[in-house]
């Protein structure tokens, strides 16, 4: 359990950091699709390394239809969710948008329950509490426009579906070591996404500078997903996402640091009372995490 918690929190840290870099790229180049395509090309190299490092230590069921269902389901939902979130980042500061993704816990828990996962009443309460904290943390200050809410809703739904597909993929890949299984999962997912991204190069032709500018985001995001898959293997998909909601706390700290460093364009200035309100909501998230851990399902 400790290893699962540690990998989940580290994943949240790298995810929060990746959102800062992604917003900086989007503000510079004004095109969220470019970041989606170029970052996938860059991360394909990491995917191939993971696949080669794990291929002889796991069994990848290429003859199982469920493998392809989860693999291409992950790719489709991830592309839609990621692009929607990048569009959201054009109008919403990274720390706020990052924390708002905690709202995906509601559809995630509902979908997981429909698929047969046993979630106790207390766990359901923890999921609801964490989601309400994410909303309360960020729905203070400036109101989001209807378009921003639409892209938030789209990214939340499709990221939740993507997590379900990732969890299923990790179940069909056979291996004794959770980390090695995670490497294999990373390998097949990011290699597949890289192949899909190649088709977009017909329209989006990256320069060397654009590819270099995607490196900070790509490194942080790739590291986050690798750690998240390990967390999924050790602690389950729903609890892994409870831990991921810790990125709201981390994002607040990063936001304050960035403002002190003069990154107003990335984070934007908000009153001190808003930061206090968000910290209180962050505490509620921690309570939700503890509640979920102390009340496991049957």
By mean pLDDT, which of 51-65, 155-169, 226-240 is the weakest?
Answer: 226-240
pTM metric for this prediction: 0.83
At residue 71, the pLDDT reads 95
**Which residue in the block uniquely carries the two structure tokens 């989007």?**
26
**123: helix, strand or coil:** helix
- The pair phi, psi for residue 174, each rounded to 5°, is -95, 130
List, in sequence order, the alpha helices (H) in the chain.
Answer: 2-29, 32-54, 65-89, 94-100, 105-114, 121-138, 146-172, 178-200, 208-235, 237-244, 247-260, 264-267, 272-294
Q: Which of 108-112, 188-192, 207-211 ranks highest by mean pLDDT?
A: 188-192
Complete DSSP assignment for 184-216:
HHHHHHHHHHHHHHHHHTTT----HHHHHHHHH
241/164: higher pLDDT: 164
Residues recorded for the chain: 298
At residue 142, the pLDDT reads 62
Whether residue 215 is predicted with pLDDT greater than 90 in this model: the reply is yes
pLDDT tens for 22-68 read 988 988 888 888 999 999 999 999 999 999 999 889 999 989 999 99
Rounded to whole angstroms, the Cα distance separating 234 from 1 reads 7
Whether residue 270 is predicted with pLDDT greater than 80 in this model: the reply is no
Complete DSSP assignment for 243-285:
HHTTHHHHHHHHHHHHHHTT-HHHH----HHHHHHHHHHHHHH
Token pair recorded at residue 296: 């496991």
pLDDT, mean over the chain: 83
Q: What's the whole-number mean pLDDT along residues 152-179?
A: 88
Q: pLDDT exceeding 70 applies to what percent of the chain?
A: 90
Closest CA to 105 of 295, 297, 240, 298: 240
Whether residue 196 is predicted with pLDDT greater than 60 in this model: the reply is yes
């Amino acid at each position: 359990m400790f290893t699962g918690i540690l990998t989940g929190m580290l994943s949240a840290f790298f995810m929060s950091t990746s959102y800062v870099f992604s917003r900086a790229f989007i503000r510079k180049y004004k095109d969220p699709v470019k970041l989606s395509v170029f970052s996938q090309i860059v991360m394909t190299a990491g995917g191939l390394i993971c696949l080669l490092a794990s291929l002889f230590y796991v069994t990848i069921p290429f003859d199982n239809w469920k493998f392809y269902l989860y693999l291409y389901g992950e790719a489709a939902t991830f592309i839609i969710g990621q692009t929607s979130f990048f569009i959201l980042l054009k109008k919403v500061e990274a720390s706020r948008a990052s924390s708002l993704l905690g709202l995906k816990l509601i559809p995630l828990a509902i979908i997981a329950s429909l698929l047969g996962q046993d979630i106790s009443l207390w766990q359901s309460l923890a999921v609801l509490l964490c989601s309400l904290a994410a909303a309360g943390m960020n729905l203070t200050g400036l109101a989001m426009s209807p378009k921003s809410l639409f892209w938030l809703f789209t990214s939340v739904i499709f990221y939740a579906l993507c997590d379900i597909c990732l969890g299923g993929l990790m179940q069909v890949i056979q291996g004794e070591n959770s980390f090695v299984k995670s490497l294999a999962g990373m390998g097949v997912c990011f290699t597949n996404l890289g192949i899909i991204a190649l088709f977009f190069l017909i329209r989006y032709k990256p320069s060397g500078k654009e590819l270099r500018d995607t490196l900070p985001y790509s490194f942080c995001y790739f590291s986050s997903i690798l750690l998240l898959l390990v967390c999924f293997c050790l602690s389950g998909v729903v609890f892994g996402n409870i831990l991921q909601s810790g990125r709201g706390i981390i994002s607040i700290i990063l936001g304050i640091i960035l403002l002190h460093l003069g990154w107003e364009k990335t984070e934007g200035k908000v009153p001190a009372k808003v930061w206090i309100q968000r910290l209180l909501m962050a505490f509620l998230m921690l309570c939700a995490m503890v509640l979920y851990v102390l009340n496991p399902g049957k």
